[in-house]
Structure 1
Amino acid sequence: MTTAPYRHDGLVCTDHTLDVPLDHARPEGPSITLFAREVTAAGRERDALPLLLWLQGGPGGRAERPHAAGAWLRRALKDYRVVLMDQRGTGRSTPADRRTLAVHGDAAATAAYLGHFRADSIVRDAELLRRHLNEQRHGERERDRPWSVLGQSFGGFCALTYLSLAPEGLDQVLVTGGLPTLTGHADDVYRAAYARTLAQNARYFDRYPGDQRLADEVAAHLAAHDVRMPSGERLSVRRFQTMGINFGQASSFDALHYLLEGAFVTGPHGPELSDTFLRGVDATVSFAQRPLYAVLHEPIYAQGGSPTAWSAHRVREEFPAFAPDTDGPLRFTGEMIYPWQFDEDPALVPLRDAAHLLAERADWPALYDLDRLAANEVPVVAAVYYDDMFVDRDHALETADAVRGLRPWITNTHAHDGVRVDAGVLDRLLAMARGEI
């Protein structure tokens, strides 16, 4: 189904929904709904613009909405008709959360269902969407016309899967902060991530040296008291530590600093944590708006062989600085998911048993075709952020070497969200793709 175009803020939007198979290997089986929004600049809606698919970060993040989209969108609309696809399970694409997943009845059925929500399924959804949009605009004979893809973070992972599974659908690929390890185990990913996160902690406390005392005082208060956030959820020390998940974003240092400076107020029994502080923490640590991020965060690295087995939780033992009961200074964790979060976060508690089954699964299909990537003929350019907290630089450059023709741009000017903050990131990638740089 396609809606009539509607306008706002200089944009023309058309909404599309189509049914896609839950399991693309069984197209005759159950289906789910895929939603995408096609966006053009006002005045150019009748122009013969090529399509650009935005693959957002995640997993489990819906596509950006045009009113809140980052700097990249306005730049992209100068040259493209942009497609914002809600990846399966997010936004308006048959959402997957504690309420909707309850229909499956038990953990085994839920885990089996969620096994179809990784990059391989997202790419096959995108292929059906590409043909649908081409046929609508150009007719059946042009349904196989390729499109360009811009992949941010996990979206870049999906783009590498796209190059592996369906390169014929791609005209060019642009990646920002999202070249994954092609062969590494989740243990390798998190071992590197913990080291980078420690470095980010050092940068944070160097910028705001007074915040070490505040963070330690908050942790001590949480250890000694049963503190409840406005939602009613208990805030533990280890959950407070997960506030570092946004350290890799351009403005995250400042946001945490300004939250911490208002952490304490004086109540009838002495110092208490303020509601303003607790509400701000809740907004970061709760997975109510993105449960798939927690459930699928380790499975996105799984490819046959051994299970992930709660890799981040196990590897953390190698980095005692992150221990919540240490006598040393508190350190914030980063992009890691732990099994205890499925006990403490009400949005995740109903998914706990399914998450454990996914962590134990060992028969995940491959996400990348190394031979196909080595023979790649699709133009690929990628921004590799030198100090990226979320995606390891060395892993990214190994992948860049493994993909024929991939041209990396290595920069320390931008954080992980550079393409959202500065339109110049996309400008440069497009110029690289055109051979101008």
Structure 2
Amino acid sequence: MNTANTAFVLIASVLVWFMTPGLAFFYGGMVSKRNVINTMFSVFYITGVAILLWAACGYELSFGPDQFGIIGRLHGLFLNGAHLTRLRPDGLPNGVFALFQMMFAIITPALFIGAVVGRIRWGFLTWFIILWSFLIYYPLVHLVWSPHGLMAGMGVLDFAGGTVIHINAGITALVLSLFLGRRRQGQDEPYSRAWILLGTAILWIGWYGFNAGSALAANMAAVTAALTTSIAAASAMCTWMLLDIHRGGKPTLIGVCTGALCGLVGITPAAGYVTAFGSFAIGVCSTLASFGFVNYLKPRLHIDDTLDAFGCHGVSGIIGSVLTGAFASKSVAPSLSANGLFYGGGWHLLLVQLLGTGITIALVAIMATVIVLVLRKITPMRVSAAEEALGLDLAEHGESEGERPATSDVLRYPDEFIGQLGGFAPQKQKPK
């Protein structure tokens, strides 16, 4: 066992896990006070569900013996056939690699929660995540990251999860948003901008485990990934800030946090393959694309992606995946078969990245649509108008972070609120 690299990957695994509560703070700070608990709960409980699914069969379906280049073969439940103590060629035990990949299986479904908060039923969401894991996530991991996967065989580059994680989560978010429809309550004031900043900082810290840890060794690839991660996030943050000033006259905290996140997403597939300038360019381009979609295209399309999970993760993930084919350099990663377009490699790698990105979008969109169409015939997808007005903190969990519902809200749906409030009395309105 290579003890140094094993320790490095263990630390990276903890950092990636840390991103999930960070995401809970990020999303929880953005929603209304009526949906804070539901949002944070929906992100965090995935930790338990995803770990059990991954241990039961997810790891072997993702990295087990190849079946047609699409999925792995299952030998036994709960890692029984995974040979956890056996060493890989790089000196890492299989168990450490399984643990590191487990963290990605947690954070990916948590990302698309941002598109559906405040209006999706918890029961539907749970069953969707389970089916999504088996029918979309595990096959996509095998296609891209297994040495025998079809997309890996095509030469698609994805250093740390541009296709597997961000495009996957973003397209899933878009599909769920389209089926759920628009919110009845409109846009509320964010609950806590301080939480948004805290969540962003935690995510940025965890992203070093996310990207640098994907080198699976304390080597130059990890150093490169850490540096490019920093530069891309910084360039994206500053770009969004300048766009905010140009559009509204003032820089905003939510803007710089969103911009940093877009840069982190955009650099993920390219982190170990590009130069410092390449990471700078990817950060800028990711933010330009996401800012344009969120502020100009999304309103025209009438898509209610609540917290812009597609606008940030989907759009920036697509840009980062494609631009990997333009900025990848053998001077940074000698193992590459060819340079990207801007480093003298011609169009080949860029076309491969375009094809891989397109396959990912199509696969996720089709399978997510099928899952929703089947599942909503079995269980309701969206909460009632009364529950949405009440807020899902009380309606789904019987807990409240903010004030109790006002009498005026209750009177809008008097019959439906019977049994919903439980022991909670409506807040009395002060006389004007």
**Class of the TM-score when normalised by the shorter of the 2 chains:** under 0.3
TM-score when normalising by structure 1: 0.28
Greater percentage in helix: 2
Greater percentage in strand: 1
